Amino acid sequence: MDIGTIIGISLGFFAIIGGFLMEGGHVAAVLQPTAAVIVFGGTWAAVIMQFPLGDVARAFKDLRKAVFPPTADLMHVVEEMVKYAQRARKEGVVALETDAESASDPFLAKALRLAVDGSEAKVIRESMEVEMDRMEAEDDIGPKVFDAAGGFAPTIGILGAVLGLIHVMQNLSDPSKLGAGIAVAFVATVYALFAANILYLPLAGRIRSRCKAAHREHELVLTGVIAIVEGENPRIIEDKLKGYVGGKAAASGSAPKAVRKAA
């Protein structure tokens, strides 16, 4: 499980609940089931009104990506692509047929298969860009759902607070309960702001950045396959693909000696 998520959510709880307790507040004061019903029910009602049920389900599945992030090793992908380039140079692009079949990533598999089938670079690019556009649109569903939840929540929180205040105002005759009533009304705002700012919006951002990393990998793969089909020198391909990796690999800019020889 991603340590950042654990740190983030613990820090959020400790800071906000802890700060409240340090001031002398009691936890019981912020535990209001009616506020929870209004805020969480209202927020997800709005989300379900806006998105198809399948999209909402997908958003919750995407939480896995946020909490257990896949480890992407771009440098490894670059090395794979360079190996393909070297094989294609020596034995022809057709030699990549087995690689196309055994590739674990379906995106890479499809690109290689198109290359093996003898498609032109232009056709490969068009086909794979259709694929990439669709995948990006699909990957953006989860973040959009949580962004929407984070956008609706504060307003629903105000709605809950106003409903609470309406109730309080109608019972002004008993001023001894006034303060407690207003306190209850404010809890809806607390729930909504906490959910939006410590959960929904950060989760949307977190899922989105995980997906962006996957898209960068797809761009790297597509650039590599196109370069292989166009018969570029494996060393030039490696140089170009390292530009996607960053860090020392890009800065050094020179291929390891073994690879240079093979090229």
Kindly tell me which residue out of 92, 231, 246, 256 binds a second copy, with binding defined by CB under 8 A.
246
Q: How many Cα atoms within 13 Å fall on the side-chain side of residue 41? A: 9
What is the nearest approach in angstroms of a second copy to the Cβ of residue 87? 21
231 counts as binding a second copy under rule CB under 8 A: no
- Between 88 and 220, whose beta carbon lies closer to a second copy? 220
- Between 69 and 87, whose beta carbon lies closer to a second copy? 69
Kindly tell me which residue out of 82, 96, 201, 225 binds a second copy, with binding defined by CB under 8 A.
201
125, two tokens: 């690019």
- Between 164 and 234, whose beta carbon lies closer to a second copy? 164
214 counts as binding a second copy under rule CB under 8 A: no
Span from 41-49, 78-86, 88-96, 255-263 in contact with a second copy (CB under 8 A): 41-49
Kindly tell me which residue out of 75, 95, 198, 263 binds a second copy, with binding defined by CB under 8 A.
198
Kindly tell me which residue out of 63, 75, 95, 178 binds a second copy, with binding defined by CB under 8 A.
178
Q: Cβ–Cβ contacts within 10 Å for residue 134, how many? A: 10
Q: How many Cα atoms within 13 Å fall on the side-chain side of residue 105? A: 14
Contacting a second copy within 119-138 (CB under 8 A): 119, 123, 126-128, 130-131, 134-135, 138
58 counts as binding a second copy under rule CB under 8 A: no
Contacts 24+ apart (CB under 8 A), 229-236: 229/93, 229/115, 229/119, 229/120, 229/121, 229/124, 230/121, 231/88, 231/89, 232/85, 233/263, 234/82, 234/85, 234/86, 234/89, 234/259, 234/262, 234/263, 235/259, 235/260, 235/263
Q: How many Cα atoms within 13 Å fall on the side-chain side of residue 53? A: 0
- Between 44 and 214, whose beta carbon lies closer to a second copy? 44
Contacting a second copy within 61-120 (CB under 8 A): 69, 106, 109-110, 113-114, 117, 119
108 Cβ neighbours under 8 A, 6+ residues apart: 221, 225
48 counts as binding a second copy under rule CB under 8 A: yes
What is the nearest approach in angstroms of a second copy to the Cβ of residue 4? 5
31 counts as binding a second copy under rule CB under 8 A: no
Span from 14-22, 82-90, 91-99, 255-263 in contact with a second copy (CB under 8 A): 14-22
Span from 2-10, 75-83, 84-92, 255-263 in contact with a second copy (CB under 8 A): 2-10
